[in-house]
Amino acid sequence: MSTDALTRNTDVDVPHTPHDRGTAEPKRRKPRDRPLLIVITGKGKGKSTSAFGMLLRSWARDYRCGVFQFVKSGKWKVGEQKAAEKLGGIDWEKMGDGWSWISRDLEESADLARAGWEHVRERVAAERYEFLLLDEFTYPLKWGWVDVDEVVEVLTTRPGFQHVVITGRDAPQALIDAADLVSDVTLVKHQMEQGIRGQQGIEW
Q: What are the pLDDT digits (tens) for 139-157?
A: 999 999 999 999 999 999 9
d(CA 189, CA 5): 41
| pLDDT at 82 exceeding the cut of 50 | yes
Q: Would you state the pLDDT for residue 75?
A: 58
Q: What are the tens digits of pLDDT across the range 141-200?
A: 999 999 999 999 999 999 988 999 999 999 999 999 999 999 999 999 988 888 888 888
Q: Cβ distance 142 to 170 under 8 Å? A: yes
**Phi, psi values for residue 68, rounded to 5°:** -125, 110
The predicted-structure confidence for 66-79, as pLDDT tens digits, reads as follows 999 998 655 556 77
> Is residue 9 within a helix (H) or strand (E), and if so which, with residue range?
none
Distance (Å) of CA 181 to CA 23, 35, 137: 21, 11, 16
Return the SS3 of 129. Answer: coil
Residue 88 has pLDDT above 90, yes or no: no
**How much is the pLDDT for 12?**
43
Across the beta sheet with 131-135, the strand order is 90-94, 65-69, 131-135, 163-167, 37-41, 181-184
pLDDT band at 7 (very low <50, low <70, confident <90, very high): very low
pLDDT at 77: 67
Residue 30: per-residue pLDDT: 72
The number of C-alpha atoms within 13 Å of 45 and in the hemisphere containing its C-beta is 11
Write down the pTM of the prediction: 0.82
| pLDDT at res. 15 | 46
7-39: b or e for each residue (b if 16 or more CB lie within 10 Å)? eeeeeebbbbeeeeebbebeebeeeeeebebbb
Question: pLDDT: is 102 or 88 the higher one?
Answer: 88
- Residue 49 pLDDT > 90: yes
Over the chain, what is the mean pLDDT? 82
Domains of the chain and CATH, by start: 32-194 (3.40.50.300)
